[in-house]
Amino acid sequence: MKKIVLACLLMGVSVLAQDTSKWICPSEVPQPEDNKLTKERIELGKLLYFDVRLSRDDTISCATCHSPSRGWSDEVPTSKAVGFQGRVGPRNSPTILNSAFQKKQFWDGRAKSLEAQALGPIEADVEMNMPLDMLIPKLNKIQGYKELFAKAYPESKGVITKEYLAKAIASFERTVISPEAPFDKYIKGDKNAISAEAKKGFELFQGKAHCTDCHDGWNFTDGSFHNIGLNDGELTGKELGRYNVKARPAWYGVFKTPTLRDVTKSYPYFHDGSVKTLKEATVLCSEGGRYENNVKNKSEYMKKRDLSEDEVDAVVAFMHTLTGPDVKVDIPTSFPQ
């Protein structure tokens, strides 16, 4: 399948000013040459994504922390991901919505592709806690999966490896794309698709509030990394963010800018899940972060914007227009045997 037509690609061309084109979803989803999307790969990946047998105790699937009904984030909203036997992870579960368009995966960007990302949560002891040297033999004993891998990846001849496992899961994840939201109708020319308050919020979002410094383009993220001042003083452990990937001064305490698509569904907010409401998150950013001083490597974009409460409310009203219907997905009720 050389080209994948996605829900948001049906939005059409904007009838507003030409410079609004950056708010329109791209016409094709990025795909690596060695893992082009096919129906067989997507269906196989979906089964694997929802199959709890990929976890050590057969209780957790990828969907446990990235649920279709919760904006592809936690089924139960928590500040930190909860995995194997109730173990708590170090960070909030990020949404996988539109992750196909992200050049770096995870909050710290340590994975360069969805394929590189797919196996990490499976092996993580605080998530699915399933070593691949245990999982791969387990999957190879399931005849139904062997047959599906043979169809999806004929060169595998039905032999399941970690590489094919990663490719299959990544194939399904690439189809998790935002459906049309009220904002998309508005940007196409339907002036009645959003409220007057939301329109004011959109103007503030681009102007006085400076939200587009980080949340720009149709996916409302620059795909980059920033320290937004959630912590002061010296950082340690996972709070070092991308600095743990490579100790570059510019990466100290920085985390990936999340998409704002379906943001009303994916609370709590930020990498540490420390903020419960969208209004609180907006206020924090408009105040230049939680801490003003003693924040090493704080982003230059984090400045006080002097927004009134009405202006904050307008920005929040606008962000609500970025929420569309849930992505249509037939959740499997039976799995290969």
Of 72-76, 87-91, 215-219, give the range with the top mean pLDDT: 215-219
176-218 pLDDT, tens digit each: 999 999 999 999 999 999 999 999 999 999 999 999 999 999 9
Domain spans in the chain, listed from the N-terminal domain onward: 31-173, 182-320
146-175 pLDDT, tens digit each: 999 999 999 999 999 999 999 999 999 999
Residue 220, Cα to own-chain centre: how many angstroms? 11
Alpha-carbon distance 301 to 227, whole Å? Answer: 9
CA distances, 121 to each of 26, 67, 245 (Å): 28, 14, 17
| Distance from the first to the final alpha carbon of the chain | 27
Q: pTM (2 decimals)?
A: 0.91
- Band of residue 115 on the pLDDT scale cut at 50, 70, 90: very high
29-49 pLDDT, tens digit each: 999 999 999 999 999 999 999
Alpha-carbon distance 228 to 289, whole Å? Answer: 5
Domain 182-320 class in CATH: mainly alpha
Helix ranges (DSSP H) in the chain: 39-50, 62-65, 114-118, 120-123, 132-140, 143-152, 162-173, 182-188, 196-206, 278-286, 309-320
- Output the six-digit token pair for 179: 């459906």
Alpha-carbon distance 267 to 7, whole Å? Answer: 24
Nearest CA-CA partner of 116 in 232, 230, 222, 245? 245
The single-letter code of the amino acid at 1 is M
Do the two domains 31-173 and 182-320 of this chain adopt the same fold? yes
| Residue 72 CB neighbours (<10 A) | 27
Is the pLDDT at 5 greater than 90? The verdict is no
Residue 158, Cα to own-chain centre: how many angstroms? 31
Query: What positions carry a catalytic annotation?
Result: 127
- Output the six-digit token pair for 233: 């003083």
Fold of 31-173: Cytochrome Bc1 Complex; Chain D, domain 2 (1.10.760)
Specify the pLDDT at position 80: 65
Backbone angles phi, psi at 88, to 5 degrees: -100, 125
Q: Give the position of tokens 């040459």.
A: 33
